[in-house]
Chain A
Amino acid sequence: MNLSDFQIIYDERDSVITGIQTTLSLVLVSGLASVLFGLILTPLFFSKVGWVRGSIEWLCSAMRCSPFLLFVYVIYFGLPSYGINFDKYTSGLVAMIVYHSAYMAIIFRSAWVDIPAEILEAGTAYGFRGATLIRRIIGPLLLMRAIPMVGNQWIQIVKDSAYLGIISVFDITAAFNSIQSIYFNPFVCFIVAGLLYWVFCLLIELIVNLVARYARERIA
């Protein structure tokens, strides 16, 4: 390991930047989409219809037992046999969104269960029900309680995005892997890749802390 190894990475910065862009777009889109879908799925856990509740619980436990890579294979290799063809990037993105939406739904459900029953009763007593109850009473409390766990899940999303290199999506890990296979400087390459992921996660932590502080100030 010496300075010239870093020089090589600098010279190959084009592919590094492409890799960062790919990872960043994957993380941003699937991070936001999974929160949105998670929020849509969560009320189904409390549905009065038995089969709706049963199927959402089954779906989420299935995702919890499956490794992310296995699910990526189902989307990337499995779906084409049913006539659904995605390219590498899209199937990676779809896999990330679906897989992590299930986790987000689980997170929001546990936050929902945590809300004291008195608050809900008070809300109903004041005449809130249905969608208004969710939007005015449950929603804000739910989001505030869920913020730290959502942050953890976002870090998980960053880490899971590295698996997509296996189906040859050109993300950060794949970019550095291609550089090291040409110049044989694997140690420095993967160290820099690890540091880049670290920066991603520190940024997420920063954003989560800011949002949590904003939420506390709003509520207090």
Chain B
Amino acid sequence: MNFYDYLSFVYGAVSTIGVSFIAIIVGIPLGLGLALLRWAKVPLLGKCAYVYVSLVRSCPAVTLIMLIYFGLPQFEISLSPLVAAMISFSITATAFNCEIWRSALLSFDRSQYEAAQAFGMNRWIRFRYVLLPQVWRSSIPGLINEMTLLVKNSPAISVIGLLDITRAAQRIGARTYEPIPPLLVGFAIYIVIVMLLIKLQKHLEVRIRSAQEPL
């Protein structure tokens, strides 16, 4: 492998991490929004959220990304590959995060919410200081797990011509006729990314636990 091969790994890593990162940033709040719609049993919207989650969760990343990138131009909406990848991964992340938030909301004790109401806290304060801290704490492992799933699904962006880590590895292998070494390098990069995410989880959990220590 020469210098340009390593450079293509760097490009691949940047687009893998970039696309996953955008999806995480978009998916966490939107997923929470959808989960709240279902938790509060908002009449029509709650049902819509349910159908959305069920549909998107069963759609393979490859199919969804092709739908966005090849399908939308039929409606005169042409997206660059990078934007299409970001949109499609955000759609998936939203659906998965909705389920994670929802299971945390289901285990949340509603009587606390009512107690806060009895103390005259308004809707925002109840959400921000009573509901969110507890739900966030129990969602962290699920959310981090979902982030590693996103990273593992990111090779799907290669079907619309983007260079990600896996594609970079495969292209180098096709040129040098030695497919295994570049694939191992790619694998090592994925291991580093996943390890960093697990470290983030540990860090967040420790921070929350220390914030909760009784005074």
Q: Does B31 contact A (CB under 8 A)?
A: no
A-B Cβ contacts below 8 A, count? 128
Shortest Cβ distance from B60 into A: residue: A162
Q: Does A45 contact B (CB under 8 A)?
A: no
Inter-chain contact A68/B152, CB cutoff 8 Å: yes
Partner of B170, one of A62, A66, A73, A162: A73
- A-side interface mostly: helix
Inter-chain contact A198/B72, CB cutoff 8 Å: no
Chain A residues within an 8 Å CB radius of B54 = 198, 201-202
Inter-chain contact B63/A180, CB cutoff 8 Å: no
Q: Does B133 contact A (CB under 8 A)?
A: no
Number of interface residues of B (CB under 8 A): 42
Give the most central of A77, A81, A193: most B CB within 10 Å. Answer: A77
Q: Does A160 contact B (CB under 8 A)?
A: yes
Inter-chain contact A197/B155, CB cutoff 8 Å: no
Q: Does A166 contact B (CB under 8 A)?
A: yes
Inter-chain contact A166/B159, CB cutoff 8 Å: yes
Inter-chain contact A65/B178, CB cutoff 8 Å: no
Residues of A within 8 A of B (CB): 1, 62, 64-70, 73-74, 77-78, 81, 155, 158-163, 165-166, 172-173, 177, 180, 185-187, 189-191, 193-194, 197-198, 200-202
Known: A162-B62, A191-B71. 9 other contacts (CB 8 A): A66-B187, A68-B152, A70-B166, A73-B170, A77-B183, A172-B63, A177-B66, A187-B72, A197-B59
